[in-house]
Amino acid sequence: MTIETEQREIEDSQQKHIRHQGMEAMQVLDVIEKDFSDNPEAMQYFYDLFRDVYCNGIKPHPGKEMIGTMCVQVPDEIIHAAGGIPVRMCNGFYTDEEAGGEFMPAKSCSLVKASLGMLKSKTNPYSEGIKTIVNPTTCDQKKKSAGMMREMGYKIYDMELPPVKESEIGREYWRRSVRLFTKEVGKITGKKVTRKGLKETIRKIGRAQNAYHRLNEARKLTPLPFLGKDMFVVTNAFFFDDLERWTLATEKLADEIDKRVENKYNTAGKRSPRIVFTGSPPVFPNLKVPLMIEQSDAVIVADETCSSNRLLNDMVSVDEWFMYDMVDAVADRYLKSCTCPIFTMNDDRIRRLIELVRSSNADGVIYQAFAGCGVYEMEQRSVAKAMEKEGIPMLYIETDYSPSQGGQLSTRIEAFVESLKARSRRK
Amino acid sequence: MSIKSRIDRVDLRPFRFWFQLLAFVFLVYGGHLAVDLGNSLPTFSCGYNSQGTAGVCYLLPLQHQLAQPWERLFSPAGMAVLGGFGLFILWFVVLNKAWCGYICPLGTIQDWITGLRKRIGIPYSNYSDDHFNKLKVIKYFLLLALIFIPLAIGGQFISHDWGVPFCKICPARMIIPAFNGDFSQWTIDFSSNTKMVLTALGMFIVGLFLVGSFVKKRFFCFFCPMSAFHFIFSKLSILKLKKDGSKCTVCGDCYRVCDMQIKPIADDVKSVDILKDDCILCLKCVAACPEEGALKVDVLGKTIFEATRGGFSKRMGMEKNDD
């Protein structure tokens, strides 16, 4: 009698990392896709995209050089015009956060740690194609982590962003940064940014934004035609997907949603509270909190985050279609209306939140802050105060990427949702 | 599609170009067809263009009337001044500062010069914040001067050589008659020292006007005393530029297309009546605003033109193409 033993290859740490990553992505995608019954058909493109890239090892933009961007302020228009492909380096994997833990103090932002871990372990689907990373000087953790990326061997382009956005000095400072970037990015990609090229990409991104806005307007409606988790999936895909393909897929989705609106299709429960989501950005696969909200019979009808609304909301307006005006117009888009908490004042963010609550008929706000994300933690106080003044209930959640927190978090969210329901009954 | 949404989607540029051109032809050549809109127009329809003008800029008769001897000015006969002023207000309340952005011949000429610069592809210049705030008071000084200098003449404090002082330095006096082939104003008056200085200054300002408006959009309007005069009465107008601050994201799109560099159009999220003293009501800001209803134009409380995302995208060429 012979005993057959199955021969298993012992995987190395990188393979293990990739396997864990795939499992993590798969788990979340299964929830997004299968735990909800009325997904729009056109969402399949986006579900498949994430499955391909994160579970099936299909690389986006094969053979092409991509340019990593650290934050929402890096002008995509200009990178595209130089023939580059911008890919956001903000990462949501717990597997990567663990790998990135060695770089940062214990109490620091999960997102920053995860991005570092991703770049260090070179396991992400883009690692082969990325040599240069553009680092706008936003929060301290991002700024310092760029230095560490430099040590890892990446070329870092520091793009100077002012800490004050209201002043003319700040505006001019940022315009100079963007003008310089327009010149330098051509050296990175080997293709100069031309008038024609920039005009074209401004319009292409404008068209993408229009598709986003169609969805964003539709979800303000009652009955609600689609869920907030799908919106996050769509906008997260914008981080790395091919611009034109993304636009077409989003337009197709918007067409389907328009039909749902016509037919008064409702994805929300009878008394589901309507939520505006704000704070630290949900980045795939860390859609934990949005998913918990929508699994607790609430619906997300608007958001104010840099992985969604802030990424696509504001559009470029050009007066004279020449380089001198287009570049400045692009610069303005990324500074003036940016509601990022790294700026000294947060009035615009508060105004945006109130407007979103009003225009989308929301019942409350859920504010997520990653533990260690100083700027969002600090702004919590003023936002909470402003919401109280407006009579808008708000739940503040401190969270990170670890999967262990689940039970306690969902209890808090459920309690908040119940309180909103009770509140609307009283009305 | 409703008429309202058609208007909101209109491409403002050609509309304004043709409107301004027609207004220009009408005011500068209308006189040949015996059109006479009187002497109280709230726009630089220059009275020195005696052959062609279809109506006269109010600043010319105003300076004349104020220079009457005081015993006449402050007598019942002086009431005629009020008549002219009343008519000026009546003209003004209809269009508010849109007189500047859509009708003023001198403004239109500046837009043509801007068009020329654009064709060549030369970047425009702007004032720094600091210069802007310092220079913007000049138009009020000019307004005070064009009221008090004639009064001083009437009171016999200064000589008649100071008559119609603003017209002497106004670039319209030389430029607009020139469109009818009349270059008689292109001279320096050596009959007295005062006249010589004023007309020489006027000549210099014409040069400044031509160069300035090539470099800076609507260069002259920034210093225009008529603009200051308008602003004093702008609250009376039936035409209003309004802003809904709650819908504004302070993206600055309006500010960056503004020929007059009016920053509060973007940054002020509290005022509803957002018309500022430098505004020429060209409405480029409304056309460049991507937020539904954040900026709009009302006539007697009824919205006639409003910022919409659809209109914005159409004007910027960002709409889905139908291929």
Tokens of A149: 């990326």
Q: Return the closest-CA partner of residue A410 out of A285, A292, A274, A287.
A: A292
Q: In degrees rounded to 5, what are phi and psi of residue A67?
A: -115, 120
Give chain A positions within 8 Å (CB) of B118: 320, 322
CA distance A354 to chain B (A): 8
Confidence of residue B323 (pLDDT cuts 50, 70, 90): very low
Planar angle of CA B145, B43, B289, nearest 5 degrees: 110
Q: How confident is the model at residue A403, as a pLDDT?
A: 83
Q: How confident is the model at residue A161, as a pLDDT?
A: 97
Chain-centroid distance of CA B234 in Å reads 13
Give chain A positions within 8 Å (CB) of B129: 168
Q: Indicate whether A8 belongs to any domain.
A: no
* Polymer length of chain B: 323
Contact A317 B256 (CB under 8 A): yes
Extract the residue ranges of chain A whose pLDDT is less than 50: none
Q: Indicate whether A341 belongs to any domain.
A: yes
Q: Does B121 touch chain A (CB under 8 A)?
A: yes
3-state SS track over chain A: CCCCCCCCCCCCHHHHHHHHHHHHHHHHHHHHHHCCCCCCHHHHHHHHHHHHHHHCCCCCCCCCCEEEECCCCCCHHHHHHCCCEEEECCCCCHHHHHHHHHHCCCCCCHHHHHHHHHHHHCCCCCHHHEEEEEEECCCHHHHHHHHHHHHCCCEEEEECCCCCCCCHHHHHHHHHHHHHHHHHHHHHHCCCCCHHHHHHHHHHHHHHHHHHHHHHHHCCCCCCCCCHHHHHHHHHHCCCCCHHHHHHHHHHHHHHHHHHHHCCCCCCCCCCCEEEEEECCCCCCCCHHHHHHHHCCCEEEEEECCCCHHHHCCCCCCCCCCHHHHHHHHHHHHHCCCCCCCCCCCHHHHHHHHHHHHHCCCCEEEEEEECCCHHHHHHHHHHHHHHHHHCCCEEEEEECCCHHHHHHHHHHHHHHHHHHHHHHHHC
What pTM did the predictor assign?
0.92
Q: Indicate whether A251 belongs to any domain.
A: yes
Omega of the bond leading into B76 within 30 degrees of 0 (cis): no
Give chain B positions within 8 Å (CB) of A210: 309, 313, 318-320
Q: Does B252 touch chain A (CB under 8 A)?
A: yes
Residue A274 β-bridge partners:
A299
Stretch B159-163: mean pLDDT: 92
CA pair distance B12, A415, nearest whole angstrom: 52
Q: Does B128 touch chain A (CB under 8 A)?
A: yes
Query: How many angstroms separate the most distant Cα atoms in chain A?
Result: 85
A·B CB contacts under 8 A = 87
Q: Does A38 touch chain B (CB under 8 A)?
A: no
Q: Indicate whether A402 belongs to any domain.
A: yes
Q: Which helix (H) or strand (E) holds B237?
A: none
Domains of chain B, start order: 12-230 (no CATH), 239-316 (3.30.70)
Q: Does A249 touch chain B (CB under 8 A)?
A: no
Q: Does A258 touch chain B (CB under 8 A)?
A: no
Predicted confidence (pLDDT) per residue in B195-233, tens digit: 999 999 999 999 999 999 999 999 999 999 999 999 999
Tokens of A330: 């692009």
Q: Indicate whether A415 belongs to any domain.
A: yes
Q: Indicate whether A5 belongs to any domain.
A: no
Give chain B positions within 8 Å (CB) of A251: 320
Residues 75-94 of B with CB under 8 A from A: none
CA pair distance A240, A224, nearest whole angstrom: 28
Stretch B73-86: mean pLDDT: 90
Q: Indicate whether A271 belongs to any domain.
A: yes
Q: Give how many domains chain A has, as a whole number.
A: 1
Contact B256 A168 (CB under 8 A): no
Residue B241 β-bridge partners:
B297
Contact B251 A322 (CB under 8 A): no
**Chain A residue closest to B291 (CA)?**
A314
Q: How confident is the model at residue B283, as a pLDDT?
A: 97
Neighbour-count burial of B275, counting CB atoms closer than 10 A to its CB (0-12 exposed, 13-18 middle, 19+ buried)? buried
CA distance B154 to chain A (A): 46
Q: How confident is the model at residue A6, as a pLDDT?
A: 63
Domain that holds residue A76: 13-426
